[in-house]
């Protein structure tokens, strides 16, 4: 009886040849059953086995056995010579090229004979940690048959489905070790992309606390999963996040953190130990948030919104939750807009959280949110208006600048940083009319002071020597700049510019529009127009 592989291997093809006599070849046959097994270990064995596979004079069972011997052949010098050959220009073509060159009917018989043994080979038990995986050659061959020559090697729909189903089961049975196994000819991700939704249907069940590959799982589900699989993955990610964010999770991790401290010869105080646990918890939670951002869906969006609203969760964690919501808010939901605006308008909201909440607002249609953003211009805390106004300018074009300036003119107080930043964004707006035309228009005395300093801020950021006459006309303007009032909400709201050079530089209080032009705008233009600055600009462009 012919053994396709040695008895020491977990799976053999003895069964495939059970009906074959010890000498199955017809008279004149150039190979015997024993030769097939022996050639798998010789230098020129792949070429001889290919000859058996492709020549019609050999019995079908022997040809299938030769094909399986090529599948099971160990790599040589890192090359999977039995399956893939040694290159296009060698006399060791490998199984795939051999099958490609055969008549379709003959090839179909051999492939059909191989399929049951490939399926059985892929269902072998997963090895112990650190052990070699005997199923990999069968999985590589199954994937190769399905994809080589655009899938033409497997003509039968039944065979194709059998291989796809077996590959999906193979991937799920020992997912994490097989994901990173370097001995594969074709990586796990290649296999799953070939299988599509079928390949990742069971991946959500792999999402659990402590799983180091949650990010990889989330990426694959996001890329390949159908709606139902993504929903299950989202629900699992929420459950994992809830567990990690709990006090119980920290209690469960105390022993491992204490052990790590002992191994590192650290002796933290009780407060330091609690801080270690908090940092550990935060890192794990933020890692899950990153995975949530990939998958999205109703369960994740709802959880992240509630998490961001909860002031007990801390600034960094709340900000991470808002960052993970990027692109996932419902663009038709007034409720989602309201939650983000409520966060932005609350004076107790940390600046980083406010900024991220307004970024999420910025993903909504302009018509839906523009009035809400303008309403924030009247908040006592100037930083709220600053972030909202930046967002309005980024969402607008130059034809809408008049609307912006009108609302800004009704706002109380303003910082010099606002004027300069808004001027910078004005220069980036799309037209027509062009930004410089609007800057000239709104710099005139018939506009509110808030609009005028923004227009002049444009020249501070972009003005050239040719623009000096446009701003110098306002050097003696006595109109007061819109300074903020007093109180905590005005903290950081000031009007100062650095004057002088070198060690003589000092801050100058800016009280009037003329001061802004004389001490801030005009010097910025002159510095930018100096020969040294021009040379630096030319050198930067050349690089």
Share of the chain above pLDDT 70, in %: 91
> What pLDDT score does 89 carry?
59
* Element containing residue 367 per DSSP (H, E): helix 366-375
Give, in degrees to the nearest 5, the angle at Cα 245 between 180 and 254: 80
Dihedral, 336, 339, 342, 348 alpha carbons, nearest 10:
-140
Contact between 524 and 530 (Cβ < 8 Å): no
Q: Which two tokens stand for residue 177?
A: 């070790």
Q: What is the pLDDT of residues 383-411, one digit of tens each?
A: 899 999 999 999 999 999 999 999 999 99
Contacts of 452 (CB under 8 A, 6+ apart): 442, 443, 444, 445, 479, 513
> What are the tens digits of pLDDT across the range 502-525?
777 899 999 999 999 999 999 999
d(CA 47, CA 68): 14
Query: Which of 225, 224, 238 is CA-nearest to residue 292?
Result: 238
Q: What is the pLDDT of residue 4?
A: 36
* Local confidence band at 381 (pLDDT 50, 70, 90 cut-offs): confident
List, for residues 190-217, the tens digit of each pLDDT value: 999 999 999 999 999 999 988 989 999 9
- CA 136 from centroid of its chain's CA atoms: 29
C-alpha–C-alpha distance, residues 191 and 196, integer Å: 9
pLDDT in tens, 171-188: 999 999 999 899 999 999
pLDDT in tens, 250-262: 999 999 999 999 9
pLDDT confidence of residue 535: 55
Cα–Cα distance measured from residue 439 to residue 458, given in angstroms and rounded to the nearest whole number:
7
Q: Which single residue is written with the structure tokens 């050349």?
A: 542
| Residue 30, pLDDT score | 58
| pLDDT tens readout for residues 10-62 | 333 333 333 333 333 433 445 666 777 788 777 787 889 999 999 989 999 99
Asked whether residue 538 carries a pLDDT value surpassing 80, the answer given is: no
HSE toward the beta carbon, residue 36, CA cutoff 13 A? 34
Q: Per-residue DSSP letters for 391-443?
A: HHHHH--GGGHHHHHHHHHTS----HHHHHHHHHHHTT---SSPHHHHHHHHT
The whole-angstrom separation of Cα 227 and Cα 219 is 14
Per residue in 426-442, pLDDT (tens digit) is 999 998 999 999 999 99
Determine phi and psi for 208, rounding to 5 degrees: -155, 160
Rounded-to-integer distance, Cα 262 and Cα 256, Å: 10
Give percent of the chain with pLDDT exceeding 90. 76
What's the CA gap between 415 and 472, in Å, rounded?
Answer: 22
Average pLDDT of the residues in 410-427: 95
Does pLDDT of 543 surpass 80?
Answer: no
Q: What angle do CA 511, 514, 518 make, to 5 degrees?
A: 105
């Amino acid at each position: 009886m012919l053994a396709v592989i040695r008895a020491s291997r977990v799976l053999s093809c003895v069964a495939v040849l059970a009906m074959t006599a010890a000498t199955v070849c017809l008279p004149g046959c150039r190979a015997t059953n024993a030769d097939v097994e022996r050639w798998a270990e010789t230098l020129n064995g792949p070429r001889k086995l290919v000859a058996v596979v492709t020549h019609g004079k050999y019995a079908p069972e022997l040809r299938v056995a030769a094909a399986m011997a090529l599948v099971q052949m160990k790599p040589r010098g890192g090359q999977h010579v039995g399956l893939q050959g040694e290159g296009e220009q060698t006399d060791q073509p490998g199984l795939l090229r051999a099958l490609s060159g055969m008549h379709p009917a003959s090839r179909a018989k051999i492939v059909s004979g191989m399929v049951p043994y490939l399926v059985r080979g892929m269902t072998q038990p997963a090895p112990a940690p650190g052990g070699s995986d005997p199923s990999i050659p069968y999985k590589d061959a199954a994937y190769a048959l399905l994809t080589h020559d655009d899938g033409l090697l497997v003509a039968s729909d039944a065979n194709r489905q059998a291989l796809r189903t077996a590959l999906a089961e193979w991937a799920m049975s020992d997912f994490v070790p097989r994901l990173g196994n370097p001995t594969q000819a074709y990586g796990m991700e290649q296999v799953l992309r070939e299988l599509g939704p079928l390949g990742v249907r069971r991946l959500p069940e792999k999402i659990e606390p402590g799983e180091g590959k949650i990010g990889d799982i989330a990426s694959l589900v996001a890329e390949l999963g159908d709606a139902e699989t993504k929903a299950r993955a989202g629900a699992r990610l929420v459950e994992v996040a809830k567990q990690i964010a709990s006090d119980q999770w920290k209690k469960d991790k105390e022993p491992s953190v204490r052990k790590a401290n002992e191994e590192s010869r650290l002796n933290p105080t009780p407060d330091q130990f609690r801080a270690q646990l908090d940092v550990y918890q935060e890192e794990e939670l933020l890692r899950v948030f990153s995975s949530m951002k990939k998958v999205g869906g109703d369960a994740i969006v709802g959880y992240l919104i509630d998490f961001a609203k909860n002031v007990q969760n801390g600034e960094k964690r709340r900000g991470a939750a808002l960052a993970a919501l990027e692109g996932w808010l419902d663009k038709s939901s007034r409720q989602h807009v309201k939650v983000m605006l409520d966060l932005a308008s609350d004076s107790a909201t940390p600046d980083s959280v406010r900024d991220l909440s307004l970024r999420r607002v910025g993903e909504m249609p302009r018509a839906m949110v523009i009035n809400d953003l303008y309403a924030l211009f009247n908040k006592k805390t100037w930083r709220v208006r600053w972030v909202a106004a930046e967002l309005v300018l980024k969402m607008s074009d130059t034809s809408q600048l008049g609307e912006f300036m009108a609302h800004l003119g009704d706002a109380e107080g303003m910082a010099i940083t606002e004027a300069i930043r808004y001027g910078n964004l004005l220069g980036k707006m799309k037209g027509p009319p062009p930004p410089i035309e609007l800057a000239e228009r709104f710099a005139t005395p018939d506009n509110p002071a808030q609009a005028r300093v923004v227009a002049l801020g444009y020249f501070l950021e972009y003005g050239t020597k040719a623009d000096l006459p446009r701003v110098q006309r306002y050097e003696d303007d006595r109109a007061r700049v819109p300074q903020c009032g007093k109180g905590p909400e005005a903290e950081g709201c000031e009007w100062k510019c650095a004057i002088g050079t070198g060690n003589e530089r000092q801050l100058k209080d800016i009280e009037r529009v003329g001061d802004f032009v004389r001490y801030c705008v005009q010097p910025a233009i002159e510095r930018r127009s100096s020969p040294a600055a021009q040379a630096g600009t030319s050198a930067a462009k050349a690089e």
